[in-house]
Amino acid sequence: MAKKKKLNKNWLHDHINDPYVKMATNAGYRARAAFKLKEIAEPEGLLKPGIKVVDLGSAPGSWSQVLREALVGPGGVINGRIIALDLLPMEPIAGVEFIQGDFRDDAVLEDLNQRLGGEKLDLVVSDMAPNLSGVAAADSARIEHVCELAIEFALNHLKPNGALIVKIFHGSSYSNVVHQMKQVFKSVSPRKPKASRDRSRETFLLCKGLK
């Protein structure tokens, strides 16, 4: 118990003193994760008016906020479309359609598909992460499954020149997921944004152009 309290105290200290937390607060973002998406997508020119994008694992909404900034035009009108999805509730964001549900459920996917109505997407972003148990083999399987769902969704809904940004964790499933990505996309490259904490095992894969 004492060790857990120490870990929580250390996390709180790091969180309070984290420059990205302060930057997010000042910019009005709901989480520091906003800067991860900006670091990955902006240099690639992926965030621009007119795009259609789905944000998987969107809560609390910082990635949707970044996407909205890229799409908003004069008078606050959204030029493009953003659909966000998460198992957890998310406070509304003007111009962002939100679906609350489990991405693994067929009914939730059907709701998303109906909203899209056959529209193809320019971009799919996924900050989804499964609940981790601490058991390496089980966690790797869960991570791989979530990534496979994102790949399948992107394959079915992206335009030929579209892009997918997906979160993954280094571990036994990493190379297998990268291999699967390379079967689907012309370009697959890892990204470790500065906004991602150094000690975190998370990284992101930027995948462009369907084969």
**Which CATH number fits the domain that encloses residue 102?**
3.40.50.150
Residue 132 domain-assigned? yes
Cα separation, 141 vs 147, in Å, equals 10
> Any binding-site annotation on 61?
yes
Exposed, middle or buried: residue 40 (CB in 10 Å: 0-12, 13-18, 19+)? buried
Residue 82 domain-assigned? yes
> Any binding-site annotation on 63?
yes
Domain count, the chain: 1
Strand spans (E) along the chain: 52-56, 81-86, 96-100, 121-126, 158-169, 185-191, 202-210
Residue 26 domain-assigned? no
Structure confidence by residue, pLDDT tens digits, 15-50: 556 888 888 888 999 999 999 999 999 999 999 999
> Any binding-site annotation on 127?
yes
Domain that holds residue 178: 31-210
How many CB atoms neighbour CB 152 within 10 A?
A: 13
Structure confidence by residue, pLDDT tens digits, 67-98: 999 999 888 889 999 999 999 999 999 999 99
Exposed, middle or buried: residue 32 (CB in 10 Å: 0-12, 13-18, 19+)? buried
Quote the Cα angle for 11-84-211, to 5°: 100
Give pairs for 75-80: CB < 8 Å, separation 24+: 79/49, 79/50, 80/49, 80/50, 80/51, 80/52, 80/53
Residue 139 domain-assigned? yes
Residue 156 domain-assigned? yes
Residue 3 has pLDDT above 50, yes or no: no
pTM of the model: 0.89
Residue numbers annotated as active site: 167
Residue 37 domain-assigned? yes
